[in-house]
């Protein structure tokens, strides 16, 4: 019986205890509003257990994606339990051990998982104090906790966590009100605690799923169609075996072709042989050569009114208008999607860098037609992995192969060409905005229309959207996905009396899903670029114009902080500094960004020289992690904004390597500077996706300041080439 089934079958021992004492008071909402993850998994021992050596093991359903969530969660647990960091270890994303927290998405790891662990640890602390009070015959307010020991304040009696629990675990439920440690007593939270996993990466130790190996492991490859919707017409499996020594098994189901071999090179050689010696149908045509904006706007679209207040002007002659465009972008994960699996003793074990191991487990159960309880998934970080890339697809691929070839660990890593050609991209988007100004220069009306494909076809417990399922001889029919992601940050955060925002959801020619920040990147790029255009029309500087339309003091604070950060610099000839602001999802982190851009007058070549960001994410757990996330987000956004675009011809994707899909190289990375506005008495908010949108607009606005060219269509390099 595994740990998870034990918890399910034994239930919990509910023991009442007082939460009164010296340890204390936070505002009522902080105590009463438990995180959703705690509400779904209220037992303390779903989140932590005390080990025999006195250390504490923490469980979280989230996966480490480079956001530093492991360190942040360890920090909050160690803080609440008054343990040193080295006395806390963490288990990430394992269907047999950790709570089901859905997907690691939406900058929600701090807000949900870290806060769930905080509440569980605080409840565990109070329970330990209650037990110690009984054993030492001393009131709780006369006890202290330090390094796994509880002692009287006089120091004459000491008891360890293990002595109190006697080999058992705390099975009580976390129930409001939970008394949290007073913030003025924090020793760890808010500090820059180094991430231990960085050391392993730098030394090249086994860390990522791409590094994982098992004794006697065999290797696999998958043959993808030459185009979307192409079907396998002919494959000579006997000739494949004859011409490819080392091939152990070939699995063909409809257009799904998997190859298992003793060595990785043998599997890749066999893959290339099949690509050259098989016959496929033509597949669907892509709109190569067409104006993509015109093509996308001709597609059938479902329109949704996102917001409407006041009334729009009837006289179109007063409207200030602009159209903005974001192309298809790929995740371009540095390590191609990878998974391992073994089927033995009627159970399937899968190792995956999926962002949602529980939804993946249910999706595999639907695909393979076996009970979910017979599938065990262990989450392992992927190199350069974020968003909905190919992680779920490669896990489904290798699961199918493992079922067909039991008793052996099978490793499957996609090729770079397959990764670039078959991952779900970030959707192309069109944004059209029209506004009017009143006599004082304030925005009086705002009309915004956006067009986008889905930003979410995650499996979500179904098999339909897995590549393997769609290639079957009796294929699962893919669904159109989640449309809400396109709306993210489509409503301006500014005070505007008359507004209308419409979203037009189409089914486009390329496979799309969740890419970092979803629709917020394009929407903020459009809104903040247009804010600069309106500021110029109103005769006001970009800072003043934004501040006059904001009522939220925290929003104003990050803009003013940014203004301070760039005040000392004087751009050289050929350079310009642009700014932008957004509050992510209009409910999460506040972020203002500035970018200094150089534009060569003769060639139009652009270089992002420096970027600044001021960010308010509420209470800071690990300031180093918050700064790193913001720095990395600016750099990634700069790469998207300047140069990235998925290319295709009439048959297939042509961006199949780092030459045809360039990303920013080390020698192109700008200097970055981040200021954090810590708000220790505010809710902690995620920051991993807060900076991408304003970074793009700041760069575009910087180009205008440098050379007078408005950038409305991305990527900038392509747009500048037209001028």
C-alpha to C-alpha distance for 108 and 377, rounded to whole angstroms: 22
The tens digit of pLDDT for each residue in 151-206 reads 998 878 899 998 999 889 999 999 989 999 999 999 999 999 888 888 888 888 88
> Which domains does the chain carry?
3-197 (3.30.365.10), 210-282+331-422 (3.30.365.10), 429-721 (3.30.365.10)
**What pLDDT score was predicted for residue 28?**
41
List own/partner pairs for 1-9 with CB under 8 A and 24 or more apart: 2/96, 2/97, 3/96, 3/97, 4/95, 4/96, 4/97, 7/43, 7/45, 7/46
| DSSP, residue by residue, 466-493 | SHHHHHSSSPPPPP----GGGGTT-S-S
Q: Two tokens at 688?
A: 């991993």
What is the percent of the chain where pLDDT is above 90? Answer: 80
By three-state DSSP, how is residue 637 classified? helix
Contacts of residue 600, defined as CB under 8 A and 6 or more positions apart, other chains included, come to: 574, 606
**What pLDDT score was predicted for residue 723?**
62
pLDDT at 20 over 60: no
* Average pLDDT estimate for 22-34: 47
pLDDT band at 107 (very low <50, low <70, confident <90, very high): low
C-alpha to C-alpha distance for 466 and 370, rounded to whole angstroms: 16
C-alpha to C-alpha distance for 326 and 328, rounded to whole angstroms: 7
Question: By the 8 A CB rule, do 449 and 316 touch?
Answer: no
Residue indicated by tokens 């993946």: 360
**What pLDDT score was predicted for residue 721?**
63
Q: Two tokens at 614?
A: 């001021």
Determine the length of the chain. 723
Residue 476 main-chain phi, psi, to 5 deg: -75, 140
pLDDT at 265 over 80: yes
**Distance, CA of 49 to chain centre:** 28
| 348 beta partners | 343, 375
By three-state DSSP, how is residue 371 classified? coil
pLDDT band at 66 (very low <50, low <70, confident <90, very high): confident
C-alpha to C-alpha distance for 90 and 253, rounded to whole angstroms: 40
| DSSP, residue by residue, 422-439 | HSPBBPPEEEEEEEEE-T
Q: Which residue has the higher pLDDT, 298 or 106?
A: 298
**What pLDDT score was predicted for residue 290?**
86
By three-state DSSP, how is residue 621 classified? coil
pLDDT at 13 over 90: no
**What pLDDT score was predicted for residue 106?**
66
pLDDT at 1 over 60: no
The dihedral formed by the CA atoms of 323, 327, 328 and 333, expressed in degrees to the nearest 10: -130
**What pLDDT score was predicted for residue 2?**
54
C-alpha to C-alpha distance for 64 and 470, rounded to whole angstroms: 29
The tens digit of pLDDT for each residue in 633-682 reads 999 999 999 999 999 999 999 999 999 999 999 999 999 999 999 999 99
Beta-strand (E) ranges in 571-639?
575-583, 590-599, 606-616
Q: Which residue has the higher pLDDT, 90 or 200?
A: 90
Question: By the 8 A CB rule, do 506 and 453 touch?
Answer: yes
Which pTM value belongs to this model?
A: 0.92
pLDDT band at 9 (very low <50, low <70, confident <90, very high): very low
pLDDT band at 23 (very low <50, low <70, confident <90, very high): very low
Question: By the 8 A CB rule, do 87 and 147 touch?
Answer: yes
| 326 beta partners | 429
pLDDT band at 381 (very low <50, low <70, confident <90, very high): very high
The tens digit of pLDDT for each residue in 455-476 reads 999 998 999 999 999 999 888 8
Query: Cis omega (within 30 of 0) on the bond before 310?
Result: no
**What pLDDT score was predicted for residue 196?**
83
Q: Which residue has the higher pLDDT, 16 or 335?
A: 335
**What pLDDT score was predicted for residue 201?**
86
pLDDT at 14 over 80: no
The tens digit of pLDDT for each residue in 703-719 reads 999 999 999 999 999 77
Strand pairing class (498-506; 575-583): unpaired
C-alpha to C-alpha distance for 41 and 61, rounded to whole angstroms: 11
């Amino acid at each position: 019986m595994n740990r998870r089934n034990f918890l399910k079958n034994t239930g919990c021992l509910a023991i009442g205890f007082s939460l009164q004492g010296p340890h204390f008071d936070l505002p009522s909402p902080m105590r009463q509003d438990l995180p959703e993850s705690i509400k779904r998994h209220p037992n303390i021992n779903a989140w932590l257990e005390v080990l025999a050596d006195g250390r504490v093991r923490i469980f979280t359903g989230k996966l480490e994606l480079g956001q530093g969530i492991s360190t942040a969660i360890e920090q909050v647990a160690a803080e609440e339990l008054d343990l040193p960091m080295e006395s806390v270890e963490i288990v990430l994303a394992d269907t047999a051990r950790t709570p089901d927290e859905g997907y690691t998405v939406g900058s929600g790891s701090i807000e949900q998982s870290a806060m769930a662990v905080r509440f569980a640890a605080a409840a565990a602390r109070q329970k330990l104090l209650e037990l110690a009070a009984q054993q030492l015959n001393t009131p709780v307010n006369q006890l202290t906790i330090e390094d796994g020991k509880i002692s009287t304040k006089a120091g004459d009696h000491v008891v360890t966590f293990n002595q109190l629990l006697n080999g058992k675990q705390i099975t009580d439920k976390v129930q409001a009100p939970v008394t949290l440690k007073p913030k003025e007593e924090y020793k760890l939270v808010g500090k820059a605690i180094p991430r231990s996993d960085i050391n392993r990466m730098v030394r090249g130790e086994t860390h990522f799923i791409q590094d994982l190996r098992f004794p006697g492991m065999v290797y696999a490859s998958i043959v993808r169609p030459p185009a979307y919707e192409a079907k396998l017409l002919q494959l000579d499996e006997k000739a494949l075996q004859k011409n490819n020594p080392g091939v152990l098994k070939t699995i063909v189901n409809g257009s799904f072709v998997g190859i298992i071999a003793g060595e990785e090179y043998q599997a890749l050689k066999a893959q290339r042989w099949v690509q050259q010696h098989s016959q496929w149908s033509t597949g669907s045509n892509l709109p190569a050569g067409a104006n993509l904006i015109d093509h996308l706007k001709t597609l059938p679209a479902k329109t949704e009114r996102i917001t409407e207040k006041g009334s729009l002007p009837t006289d179109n002659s007063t409207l200030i208008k602009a159209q903005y465009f974001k192309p298809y972008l790929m995740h371009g994960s540095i390590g191609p999607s990878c998974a391992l699996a073994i089927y033995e003793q009627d159970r399937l074990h899968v190792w995956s860098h999926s962002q949602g191991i529980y939804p993946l487990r249910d999706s595999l159960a639907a695909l393979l037609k076996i009970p979910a309880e017979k599938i065990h998934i262990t989450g392992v970080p992927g190199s350069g992995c974020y968003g909905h890339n190919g992680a779920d697809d490669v896990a489904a691929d290798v699961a199918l192969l493992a079922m067909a070839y039991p008793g052996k660990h099978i490793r499957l890593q996609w090729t770079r060409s397959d990764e670039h050609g078959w991952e779900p991209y970030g959707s192309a988007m069109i944004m059209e905005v029209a506004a009017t100004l009143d006599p004082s220069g304030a925005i009086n009306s705002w009309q915004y229309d956006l067009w986008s494909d889905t930003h979410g076809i995650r499996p979500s417990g179904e098999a339909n959207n897995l590549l393997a399922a769609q290639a079957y001889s009796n294929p699962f029919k893919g669904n159109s996905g989640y449309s809400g992601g396109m709306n993210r940050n489509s409503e301006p955060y500014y005070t505007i009396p008359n507004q209308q925002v419409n979203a037009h959801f189409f089914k486009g020619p390329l496979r799309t899903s969740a890419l970092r920040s979803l629709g917020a990147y394009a929407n903020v790029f459009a809104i903040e670029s247009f804010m600069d255009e309106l500021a110029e029309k109103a005769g006001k500087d970009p800072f003043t114009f934004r501040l006059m339309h904001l009522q939220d003091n925290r929003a104003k604070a990050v803009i003013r902080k940014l203004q301070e950060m760039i005040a000392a610099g004087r751009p050289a000839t050929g350079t310009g500094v642009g700014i932008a602001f957004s509050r992510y999802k209009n409910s999460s982190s506040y972020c203002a960004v500035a970018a200094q851009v150089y534009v060569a007058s003769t060639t139009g070549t652009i270089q992002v020289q420096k970027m600044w960001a001021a960010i308010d994410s509420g209470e800071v757990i690990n300031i180093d992690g918050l700064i790193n996330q913001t720095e990395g987000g600016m750099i990634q956004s700069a790469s998207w904004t300047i140069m990235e675009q998925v290319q295709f011809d009439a048959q297939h994707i042509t961006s199949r390597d780092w030459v045809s899909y360039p990303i920013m190289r080390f020698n192109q990375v700008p200097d970055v500077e981040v200021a954090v506005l810590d708000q220790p008495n505010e809710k902690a908010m995620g920051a991993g996706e807060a900076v991408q949108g304003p970074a793009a607009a700041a760069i575009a606005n910087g180009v205008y300041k440098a050379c007078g060219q408005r950038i409305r269509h991305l990527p900038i390099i392509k747009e500048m080439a037209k001028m």
